[in-house]
Structure 1
Amino acid sequence: MPMSHVTAPLRVVIVGGGLSGASLAWHLAQMQVPVVVTVIEPRAELGRGLAYSTTEPTHRINVPAHRMSLDPDHHDDFADWLREAAASGRLPPDDQADAGRGDLFPRREVFGQYVADRLAPHLQAGAVRHLRARVQDIQRNEDGSLLLHLSDDGLVRADLLVLATGHPPPAVPKVLAGLSGQGPLVADPYDPAQLARVPKDARVLIMGAALTSADVIATLDRQGFQGQITCISRHGLRSRGHGEVIRESEVDFTDPPLQGASDLLRRVRHAIVDDLAQGQGWQATIQRVRDQGGAIWTALDSAARRRLLRHLRTYWDVHRFRIAPQVEAVLDRLIGAGRLRYLAGHLTSAMPQADGSVQVAWRLRGTRQIQRQPFDRVIVTTGPAHDRCIDGNPALSALARLGLIAPDPLGLGLDTTLRGWARDPKGRDSDRVLIAGPLARGQVGELVGAPECSVHSLHLAQEIALHATFGPTAPSIEHARAVGQD
């Protein structure tokens, strides 16, 4: 294949400096790719994002430290950094981080500090530039490059634009729309000021029962909350704990090739039985599914993916997205004290009352029975509204108006290729826009946790390196490696 070398460094602009954007910038700097990297992120430090900018002490990483790393080839990088930072006195004491069996679950802000530390040398050397602003609008130039208008009135030109905007905020359920702007509704569960104003003896309803719900409950408990908490979700299932994994599961979910969602479910059930027989918890099996998540997802056709999402997504989420042992202990204690309950149901109405409370009605799952109860606070933790990610983000809205991006058909984010390039509404592949992080999960599959985001960022960095060398006609990574070996 003839090579069309780029004569000047590519201007790569990354919109979003959370974990996905920061790790991509780090990989590009490590690889010394001939690009100029600019990250547009309003927060003071790269790598924080929503998850790792929190200063709430009960918010801990949900994956053991030895599995968290910017470098997929060095899984212990974060754990090594923790030891070095603690020895040098750069970290405050945290006697709650050790969950036993050698597993560390430090506060999330500490992982954000780790990412910022790893990026600091590249920022100081100028290999990565950080602009503290937001993208307000985007124009397309005659040469195909993109001109970004920033909130500080600055302009940035991009030869390649990477969208790493992360998770969109949760959407307020329609049944709660009448409460918007009123005191009883907490629409942003990560707003510490709103949670601090929850009365200590309040009757609290939490919409959702997954990780964010657990974070809210742990925060309220730390603040001395003594009231009653009811969590309502479609299935009434809460996130599971980590359990004990003695050894990695050896099952292979990719060989022989999967025949569909039912085949995957059957194999997972059989693997759990086998692992239990060997003294393993089901967590070992689910970790194996997670490790092979990309290969499993890409092996399924669109019909199988839809079926999996419709019937199994909730069960996958509560077993895959496990909570830190410290948070699990809080939930177990409150359940045992009769102050926390989980219900499977569907809200039918929410009416404000004269005393400032909200009369909520819901139908229990599998029945026609309607229950009613007054609550002093209603907290929304229903998870990111990925199917509405374009409407709520000015940068994505601008690209959609230009016809450069389109929603993912499964409602999981943005439509992409396997190599990470955006697709337009007509299904055509972009040669200017790439998608990083959770918004690409419709094509990539499992792409929410830090380990998966780091791997995906490495693949995108390799893709950008090929683009910098070959231009828009760049071969696949596999082809480029084969040519290099020849």
Structure 2
Amino acid sequence: MTIERQHVIPTVAIVGGGAAGSLVALHVLRCAVAPVRVVLLDRHGSHGRGVAYANDPYEHRLNVPASRLATSADRPQAFVEWLIAAGADPESEPFATRAQYGTFLEEQLAAAATGASAAGATLECRAIAVNDVVSREEHEQLILDDGTSIRADAVVLALGPPTAPADPTLRPDTPQSFPSPWEPDALDAPAPGSTVLLRGAGLTAIDAALALLRAQPDLTVQLVSRTGELARAHAGGGAVRAVDAAPAPHLPAWLQETAPLAWSSVRAAAVDLAQRHAAAGGDERDLVDALRPHVTALWQRLGPQEQAAFLRSDLRAWEVRRHRMAPSVAARVAAFRASGHIQTTIGRVAAVRLVNEGYEVELRGAPGGRVVVQRIIDCGGFGRTDRQSEASLLHTLAARGRIEPDVHALGIRSDAEGRVLASSGDTQLRLAVIGALRRGDLWESTAIPELRSQAEQLARVFIAPLLSGAGAES
């Protein structure tokens, strides 16, 4: 095995080149005052974009207004300014496309690398998978898919959410059943008059439905989910300043406390707060947005059993209010529902059989119980960290005790600064995590504002101290 050696310049390796990993790289480069080598590794080569912000042809819209998507807290309007310079009008359409944001991230990353070059900092973007991260006495060793390895002084896992394995119930071994909408050909135009079944009704399913209907207008898309609820819409009105300027509702003082909570008590208080806010003429969306800064503290005050109660009974009710559609997207969805092109069904897929017309799907809990469709796409959301394939990096690290799933298997355990906790409970001083894999500890850990805050913290608290003592040959 070939080991890359860097005897003088310290190395930061970031595994995952999507938004989370790119934000870490960006902030390390912006903070650089001495030579540092930043290596951004992405198995798909999608540095800066990842899956979420790919340069796709479907014009998927973000579900967060542009004014909240800056890469740095000291330039909160950076993305808005970028859109204006690119000829867009964020006043009339504050929800940019995902592809636009991906381009913005790419350019911000490139600019940070250029600016840091004066300090001797470099950025390497490599399209390769990382198979393992091995702890050595004074460094970390990343084992790459081509048999080489990288010696690093600090490693950040920016892998995104755990993937769900293909569900054999959906017959993913057949040509028109896809384990995710990002699979090749999944969103290609079906034959006219077809019906496509999407399992799930979240924002990913909405994006997939709109992409399919754009490719084939003569189509019925059936969204099957446990509740049948779709995401609410953001407030309209257009102007960037109007989206951010809504007055915050009055929140109760107990949100500032630290005592443990029962989910039943939190739920009752939230319902009462929502009713009083509505009675005063308030908008539910303003209340949800005002609660957002308190969500992590609330999640941590619940404790594992009470968190499980929330996940079991009220997760979807929160998600449809917290993760909302852009107004223009919501309007298109409403029009397609009115015309029958998008249909929602409460139930779950119990069995799938091949028939001459395509697939006969048995839906448990749904009226009618059976539907014949020509394509199936699983849009069911995140997987669990305790059910990863043996080929995955997460499985490899867990098998050796380097990481441990959190109690709900939403992600992996870490300390307050993002340093990974081993299965022994020990803090690993050279290995950190960002983003969706911190959901079990923080809950709010997937949106750009949270990723930006975590990236800034990692650059300042985790990486900078390691680099100050690195660089000597060992």
CA distance in 1, matches of 2:436, 2:33: 24
For 1:374 and 1:168, locate their aligned partners in 2 and report how far apart those are by CA, in whole Å.
31
Task: Look up the match of 1:462.
Answer: 460
- 1:73–1:182 distance in 2 versus 1, CA, 3 Å: same
Decide which of 104, 109, 114 is 1:114's aligned counterpart: 104
2:343 maps to 1:341: yes
Determine the structure 2 residue equivalent to 1:66: 67
Counterpart-to-counterpart distance in 2, 1:13 and 1:389: 26
Q: Percent identity?
A: 26
SS of structure 2 residue aligned to 1:216: helix
Could you list the per-position Cα deviations for residues 409-457 of structure 1 after superposition, in whole angstroms to 9, with x for gaps in the alignment?
2110112222211122222221221111111111122111111111121
Distance 1:136 1:270, change over 3 A: same
Superposition deviation, residue 171 in structure 1: 3.3
Give the counterpart letter for 1:143 in structure 2.
Answer: E
1:198 — aligned with what?
A: 190
Q: Pairwise mapping of residues 212-223 of structure 1 onto structure 2 (< 5 A)?
A: 212-223=204-215
CA 1:237–1:471: 2 relative to 1, 3 Å: farther
- Specify the alignment match of 2:435 in structure 1: 437
Quick one: structure 1 residues 128 and 356, their matched pair in 2 at CA, closer, same or farther if it must change by over 3 Å?
farther
Distance in 2 of aligned mates of 1:145 and 1:157: 7
**Partners in 1 of 2:110 and 2:369 — Cα distance?**
54
- Count of residue pairs brought into register by the alignment: 449
> What displacement does 1:370 show?
6.2
The question of 1:41 aligning with 2:38 is answered no
Shift of the alpha carbon at 1:376?
0.9
How far did residue 18 of structure 1 move? 0.7
1:475 aligned partner: none
For residues 388 and 324 of structure 1, do their structure 2 counterparts lie closer, same or farther at Cα, with a shift above 3 Å needed?
A: farther
In the alignment, the residues of structure 2 paired with residue 139 and residue 214 of structure 1 have an alpha-carbon distance, to the nearest angstrom, of 36
CA drift at 1:115: 1.1
Contact 1:19 1:48 in 2 (8 A): yes
User: 1:379–1:142: structure 2 CA closer, same or farther, 3 Å change rule?
Assistant: closer
Q: Which residue in 2 is equivalent to 1:411?
A: 409
Alpha carbons of structure 1 residues 467 and 351: separation in structure 2 relative to 1, 3 Å? same
Q: Residues 17, 136 of structure 1: CA spacing in aligned structure 2 closer, same or farther, 3 A cutoff? A: closer
CA distance in 2, matches of 1:9, 1:112: 30
| Match among 294, 297, 309 for residue 295 of structure 1 | 297
Aligned in 2, Cα 1:459/1:376: closer, same or farther, shift over 3 Å? same
CA distance in 1, matches of 2:43, 2:385: 24
Distance 2:220 2:97 in 1: 26
For the pair 1:359 / 2:360, whether they are aligned, the reply is: yes
SS of the residue 1:386 aligns to: coil
Q: If the length of structure 1 is used for normalisation, what is the TM-score? A: 0.85
> How many angstroms apart in 1 are the aligned matches of 2:227 and 2:22?
35
Distance (Å, rounded) in 1 between the aligned partners of 2:163 and 2:400 = 24
Provide the residue aligned with 1:81 in structure 2.
82
Q: Which secondary structure state, in structure 2, belongs to the residue aligned with residue 276 of structure 1?
A: helix
Tell me the CA shift for residue 344 of structure 1.
1.4
Asked if structure 1 preserves the Cα contact closer than 8 Å seen for 2:430 and 2:466, the reply is no
In structure 2, C-alpha distance between the alignment counterparts of 1:310 and 1:239, rounded to whole Å: 18
Q: Deviations over 1:105-141 (max 9, x none)?
A: 1111111111111111333426342232323433636
Deviations 1:250-282 (A, max 9, x none): 425622446222232223223323332443321
Q: Which of these residues, 253, 268, 271, is aligned with residue 269 of structure 1?
A: 271
Q: Is the 8 A contact 1:387 1:411 kept in 2?
A: yes
In structure 2, distance between residues paired with 1:146 and 1:390: 23
Q: Decide which of 161, 171, 176 is 2:165's aligned counterpart.
A: 171
**Local SS of the residue matching 2:39:** strand
Contact 1:243 1:281 in 2 (8 A): no
Letter of the 1:461 partner, please give it: A
CA-to-aligned-CA distance 1:228-250 (integer Å, 9 cap, x gap):
22211111111111135632334
- AA aligned to 1:18 is G
Residue type matched to 2:450 in 1? E
CA 1:422/1:79 → structure 2, altered by over 3 Å: closer, same or farther? same
Aligned residue identity for 1:70: T
User: Over residues 160-216 of structure 1, what are the superposed CA-to-partner deviations in whole Å (9 max), with x where a residue is unaligned?
Assistant: 21100112334333422xx12212202220246331142231111110000011001
Deviation at 1:152, TM superposition (A): 4.2
Matches of 2:200 and 2:135, distance apart in 1 = 44
SS of the aligned residue for 2:385 comes to: helix
The match for 2:227 among 222, 226, 235 is 235
Q: CA RMSD in A?
A: 2.6
Instruction: Describe the shift of the 1:27–1:249 C-alpha distance in structure 2 as closer, same or farther (beyond 3 A).
Output: farther
Partner of 1:12 in structure 2? 12
Between the aligned partners of 1:392 and 1:187, the Cα distance in structure 2 is 18
- Using structure 2 for the length normalisation, give the TM-score: 0.87
Which whole-Å CA distance do the structure 2 matches of 1:417 and 1:288 have between them?
Answer: 26
**What residue number does 2:30 align with?**
30
Could you tell me which amino acid in structure 1 is paired with residue 422 of structure 2? D
Q: SS at the partner of 1:426?
A: coil
Do the aligned partners of 2:162 and 2:385 also contact (CA within 8 Å) in 1? Answer: no
CA distance in 2, matches of 1:171, 1:394: 11
Matched, 1:150 2:144: yes
Distance in 1 of aligned mates of 2:429 and 2:408: 23
In the aligned structure 2, how far is the partner of 1:216 from the partner of 1:235? 19
The one of 117, 120, 130 aligned to 2:124:
130
Structure 1 counterpart of 2:369, one-letter code: Q
Q: Structure 2 counterpart of 1:266, which letter?
A: A
Residue pairs, 1:348-427, within 5 angstroms: 348-353=350-355, 355-364=356-365, 371-388=369-386, 390-391=388-389, 394-427=392-425
Residue equivalent to 1:251: 251
The one-letter amino acid paired with 1:146 is: E
Give the Cα–Cα distance (whole angstroms) in 2 for the partners of residues 219 and 356 of structure 1. 23
- Provide the C-alpha distance between the structure 2 equivalents of 1:324 and 1:70, rounded to a whole number of angstroms: 21
Which range moved further: 13-22 or 452-461? 452-461
Structure 2 counterparts to residues 174-189 of structure 1, below 5 A: 174-176=168-170, 179-189=171-181
Which residue in the other structure is 2:324 paired with?
A: 322
For 2:286 and 2:45, the matched residues in 1 are separated by 38
Which one is further off, 413-422 or 271-280?
A: 271-280
Q: Aligned letter for 1:264?
A: V
Q: What is the alpha-carbon distance in structure 1 between the residues aligned to residue 256 and residue 279 of structure 2?
A: 22
Distance 2:288 2:390 in 1: 33
Equivalent position SS for 1:300: helix
